[in-house]
Amino acid sequence: MRKTPIILLSIWLFAYAQPADALSDAPLRVLTSYIENNRCGEQITEWNRKNGSRMLNGELSRDFFYRVLGFLDWGECGRPYFKPVFIELQKAWKIYSKELVSEQQYETKEAELIDLLFTALRAGSGGEALVKAYEQRIAAKLFRLEPERQYFNCTYFGELPKCAD
């Protein structure tokens, strides 16, 4: 388990060293590596074995990938706060896929959320509080949007609010 953070960091850094015209697959590699190298549930481990490489090859959309990861049972390697993070990742992807934010804005948001996920994991029992604090911070900012919106389809990219609808 001690080697896992080093492996994940190496994957993350390597993947961000790719051409600027392609979205980084670092978040996808980090997540698939985490599933492979930890005691995850049978369901998610099997799904990852069948579909992880398809995801990395671009055969599956990030929306689908994040939806599945938020839905499946992670077993011992999962935490209750995983689902809200994956919902936020899906939301960010939907906004990006509608070309409402730039590639750089999307990648920054995706990296922020993946960092949140792994920071929460490292925090142990305090991890859930970190994710809840993130959710509360975003919700409070979205609550004040003008014009008013149903904020379940919205999130912030830095200081810029964007909505999928």
pLDDT for the residue numbered 4: 58
DSSP H helices, the chain, are 3-15, 26-36, 42-56, 62-71, 82-97, 103-122, 127-143
| Domain residue spans of the chain | 3-163
Nearest residue to 88 (alpha-carbon basis) of 118, 112, 105: 112
Angle between helices 62-71 and 82-97 (to 10 degrees): 160
Residue 143's pLDDT is: 83
Model pLDDT, residue 14: 47
pLDDT tens, N- to C-terminus, the chain (165 residues): 455 555 555 454 444 444 345 789 999 999 999 999 999 999 999 999 999 999 989 899 999 999 999 999 999 999 999 999 999 999 999 999 999 999 999 999 999 999 999 999 999 999 999 999 999 999 888 887 777 767 778 999 999 999 888
pLDDT of residue 165: 81
Q: Cβ neighbours of residue 8 under 8 Å, at least 6 residues apart?
A: 30, 33, 34, 118
